Amino acid sequence: AQKVTQTQTSISVMEKTTVTMDCVYETRDSSYFLFWYKQTASGEIVFLIRQDSYKKENATEGHYSLNFQKPKSSIGLIITATQIEDSAVYFCAMRMNTEGADRLTFGKGTQLIIQP
């Protein structure tokens, strides 16, 4: 069975610094996809970035990047030059490479607080 674990329940950092949020996963599949989502204070859930397991390069998207360590089953989210608006809950999710509807397994989330 798939499992996604985010051990950090809450992180607080100063504005304009870099923060890393951890995520480890369990799967028996050789091919899978990893996602990070952001949930704002209003409740909106927004897709941020993805990593396909067969790609060796770490994905980047704006001031978001990933630290993909496949041997450790780890996919960390790095946010550089943090802004107040980055304060939110961040979810890691994994999807297996199967046919049909793609099911996501989510971690429980990490709350990020950006202090001015």
Residue 21 CB, nearest approach to other proteins (Å): 14
Of 41, 71, 85, 100, the one binding other proteins by CB under 8 A: 100
Contacts by residues 97-103 (CB-CB < 8 Å, ≥ 24 positions apart):
97/29, 97/31, 97/32, 97/33, 97/53, 102/33
CA distances from 20 to 6, 78, 95, 112 (A): 12, 4, 22, 10
- Say how many residues touch other proteins, by CB under 8 A: 21
Q: Structure tokens of 38?
A: 């952001």
Of 44, 71, 85, 116, the one binding other proteins by CB under 8 A: 44
Of 20, 50, 58, 64, the one binding other proteins by CB under 8 A: 50
Cβ atoms 80, 57 nearer than 8 A: no
Told to check if 43 binds other proteins by CB under 8 A, we report: yes
Residue 18 CB, nearest approach to other proteins (Å): 24
Q: Which residues bind other proteins (CB under 8 A)?
A: 33, 35, 37, 43-47, 50, 91, 97, 99-104, 106-109
